[in-house]
Amino acid sequence: MTRLLPNWSFIGVVLVLSCATTALDVARADTRLPAPLTDADFLYDGRPTGALVDLGRTLFFDPILSGNRNISCGTCHDPALASGDGLALGIGEGGTGAGSRRTTRDPVTGRVPRNAQALWNIGARAYVSMFHDGRVERSADGHGFDTPAGDDLPGGVSNLLAAQAFFPVTSPIEMAGQYGENPVADAAATEDRLRVWELLAERVAHTPGYVDMMFDAFPMLRARDEISFVHIAEALAAFQTVAFRSDTAPFDDVLRTGDVSLLSRDAVQGLSLFYGKAGCANCHSGPLFTDHGFHAIGMPQIGPGKGHGADLSYFHDTGLPARQEDEGRYRVTLDDADLFAFRTPSLRNVALTGPWGHSGAYESLEAAIRHHLDPAGSLMGFDPDTVVLPELGQVLRLTGRGTDLGFEVLAPSRRQDFDLRDTRVMTTHQLRARILKANQLVPRTLSDNEIERLVAFLHTLTDPAAARLPDQRPKSVPSGLAVEPPL
Q: Where do contacts with ligand HEC occur on this chain (CB under 6 A)? A: 65, 71, 73, 75-77, 90, 92, 112, 114, 116-117, 119, 122, 130-133, 161, 164-165, 168-169, 174-175, 236, 278-280, 282-284, 295, 297, 299, 342, 344-345, 347, 350, 353, 356-358, 365, 368-369, 372, 441, 454
Judged by beta carbon, residue 218 or residue 229, the one nearer ligand HEC is 229
Judged by beta carbon, residue 36 or residue 95, the one nearer ligand HEC is 95
Q: Which positions ≥6 away from 50 have C-beta within 8 Å?
A: none
CA atoms within 13 A on the CB side of 253: 12
Q: Least Å distance between CB 280 and ligand HEC?
A: 3
381: how many CB neighbours lie within 10 A of its CB?
9
Judged by beta carbon, residue 20 or residue 444, the one nearer ligand HEC is 444
Judged by beta carbon, residue 174 or residue 186, the one nearer ligand HEC is 174
Q: Least Å distance between CB 20 and ligand HEC?
A: 27
Inter-CA distances, 298 with 90, 227, 374, Å: 22, 45, 10
Judged by beta carbon, residue 87 or residue 260, the one nearer ligand HEC is 87
Judged by beta carbon, residue 131 or residue 215, the one nearer ligand HEC is 131
Judged by beta carbon, residue 118 or residue 254, the one nearer ligand HEC is 118
Judged by beta carbon, residue 169 or residue 425, the one nearer ligand HEC is 169
Judged by beta carbon, residue 33 or residue 116, the one nearer ligand HEC is 116
Judged by beta carbon, residue 175 or residue 339, the one nearer ligand HEC is 175
Q: Least Å distance between CB 417 and ligand HEC?
A: 24
Compute the C-alpha angle 322/326/332, nearest 5°.
Answer: 95
389: how many CB neighbours lie within 10 A of its CB?
19
HEC per residue, the chain: CCCCCCCECCCCEEEECCCCCCCCCEEEECCCCECCCCHHHEHHHHCCCHHHHHHHHHHHHCHHHCCCCCCCHHHHCEHHHCCECCCCCCCCCCEECCHHHCEECCCECCCCCCCCCCCCCCCECCCCEECCCCCEEECCCCCCEECCCHHHCCCCCCCHHHHHCCCHHHCHHHHHCCCCCCHHHHHHHCCCHHHHHHHHHHHHHCCHHHHHHHHHHCCCCCCHHHCCHHHHHHHHHHHHHHHCCCCCCHHHHHHHHCCHHHCCHHHHHHHHHHHCCCCHHHCCCCCCCCCCCEECCCCCCCCCCCCCCCCHHHHHHHCCCCCCCCCECHHHHCCHHHCCEEECCCCCCHHHCCCECCCCCECCHHHHHHHHHCHHHHHHCCCHHHCCCCCCCCEEEEECCHHHCEEEECCHHHHHHHHHCCCHHHHCHHHHHHHHHHCCCCCCCCCHHHHHHHHHHHHCCCCHHHHHHHHHCCCCCCCCCCCCCCC
CB 444, CB 373: distance < 8 Å: yes
- Distance between CA atoms of 387 and 301, rounded to whole angstroms? 11
Judged by beta carbon, residue 114 or residue 193, the one nearer ligand HEC is 114
Q: Least Å distance between CB 19 and ligand HEC?
A: 21
Q: Least Å distance between CB 431 and ligand HEC?
A: 15
Judged by beta carbon, residue 118 or residue 260, the one nearer ligand HEC is 118
